[in-house]
Structure 1
Amino acid sequence: MERGYHHGDLRRALIEAGIELLDDGGVEAAGLRAAARKAGVSHAAPSRHFRDVAAFVAAIAAACFEQLAESMASARMTSSDSVSGFRATGLAYVSFALDHPNRFRVLSHPLVSNKASFPELRDASERTFGVLRQAIIDAQAEGTVRSDDPATVALAAWSMAHGLAILLVDQQLQGKGYAADPQQLTDNILEHLYEGLRPHG
């Protein structure tokens, strides 16, 4: 829905418009001209904040990473213990992908794959990864996850959750005999991951 822009944070208004376009039509729909039109400003207005469409998509992706980080952090903080918190971050990750598939896809879109070129996106991505890493550190402190390098363990957990999310979002598991409920399937997968991370001995 188009809306008039009158005052305030034009950059934020354009990003919000871009997320709406992303939700409706994917990255290809989230153009600068379309966002300007939706925000009710001139086609030239976005150039004050975004040098090109890649910078605009990077800003959208950064905002989506922040949403994902918030969901994961909230899930971890409301869990009863470190193990539950660790698993909750994975569930939140997959749930975000299923609830917002185009927001999930923009996080790793080829247009913004080189996150070093977009500091805001790089920082948002690192904060999101940091939520998972902290969940690992907490579990290690309680002795429920073995004391390997937490960044490496977090990468293993992220790889599994991300891969599962892609399979579910792209509907690659239908008819293959897996649990029909994505949350149950995710919980089962994360249980396998967790069992593999228990301390030795």
Structure 2
Amino acid sequence: MTRTSYHHGALRDTLLAACLRLIETEGIGAVSLRRVAREAGVSTGAPYHHFADRSALLAALSTRGFQHLASELAAARATADTPQTALTALAETYVRFSQEHPGYFRLMFRPELSQPEKHPDAMAAGDAAFEVLAATIAEGVTAGLLPADRADTLAIMWWSLAHGMASLWLDGQLEKRSRQLGTTAPTLVEDIMRTFTALVAPGA
């Protein structure tokens, strides 16, 4: 495809894909509009048709990452038969997402992108992903499986636990500890989440 053959939407998608490749291969520090343009095979001025600056490009990519995550979380929740099994499935999906999409995962939670006044689309996409978890917690409360007065705290606890496991696995530490325990990382993730849901159940 030549530089002049991109239509409006295809160019934006191509730039986002090039940016993601750079993050995955060289890290976020390698990203600049000029470098992304070179990676995409377009003129250095082409990115400015879609992104005002580097921050806008990264925010757009972060938005796409959260949209993918929300979709995968919703699919996992839909296949679970109880809120408790859904919480475990959501955690497994969250951790797996970090493995399958490390470029997205390393980008999505960067503090400079967590500014709703500057990047409202990214924040809205992140909130939509979190809402899948919040709705699952609410189902557990309604079913009497989780304490109603701790619902908000439990959602943050779950997120912290899942994000911590995802980060540890991405950095190679979870697999290391799993081998020491004579198990595998996926099995350890499942066991941790089952233990968590048992501990937070009313009367536990």
TM-score normalised by L of structure 2: 0.87
Q: Report how far residue 67 of structure 1 moved.
A: 1.0
Select between 132-141 and 29-38 the one with higher mean Cα deviation: 29-38
| Amino-acid identity (%) | 32
Provide the secondary structure at the position in 2 that maps to 1:55: helix
Per-residue CA deviations over 1:59-82 (Å, capped at 9, x if unaligned) read 111111111111111111112222
Quote the offset at 1:179 in angstroms.
5.2
- Secondary structure, in 3 states, of the residue corresponding to 1:51? coil
TM superposition shift of 1:124: 0.9
Is 1:191 aligned with 2:200? no
Shift in Å, 1:43? 0.8
- Give the counterpart letter for 1:196 in structure 2: L
Shift of 1:116: 4.2
Q: Aligned equivalents of 1:91 and 1:179: distance in 2?
A: 19
| Contact residue 146 and residue 200 of structure 1 kept, 8 A | no
Give unmatched runs, 5+ long, in structure 2.
none
- CA offset digits 1:21-77 (Å, max 9, x no partner): 222222123332232233332111212222211121111111111111111111111
C-alpha distance in 1 between matches for 2:102 and 2:130: 19
Q: Where do residues 13-52 of structure 1 align in structure 2 (5 Å cutoff)? A: 13-52=14-53
* CA distance, structure 1, for counterparts of residue 151 and residue 40 of structure 2: 43
Q: Take 1:98 and 1:118, find their aligned partners in 2: how far apart are those partners?
A: 25
Paired letter, 1:169: L
Query: Are residue 95 (structure 1) and residue 96 (structure 2) matched?
Result: yes
Paired letter, 2:8: G
Give the conservation status (yes or no) of the 8 Å contact 1:3–1:38.
no
Query: Is 160-169 or 102-111 further displaced after alignment?
Result: 102-111
Aligned length: 200
Greater mean deviation of Cα atoms: 41-50 or 119-128 = 41-50
The answer to which structure has the higher helix fraction is 2
Q: 2:56: which partner in 1?
A: 55
> Is the deviation greater in 154-163 or in 47-56?
47-56
**Greater CA drift, 159-168 or 31-40:** 31-40
For structure 1, list consecutive stretches of 5 or more residues without a partner in the other structure. Answer: none
1:74 match:
75
What's the RMSD between the two structures over aligned residues? Answer: 2.2
User: 1:128: Cα distance to partner?
Assistant: 0.8
Normalising by structure 1, report the TM-score: 0.88
Q: Which residue of 1 aligns with 2:131?
A: 130
Q: Which deviates the most, 132-141 or 174-183? A: 174-183
Offset, 1:146: 1.8
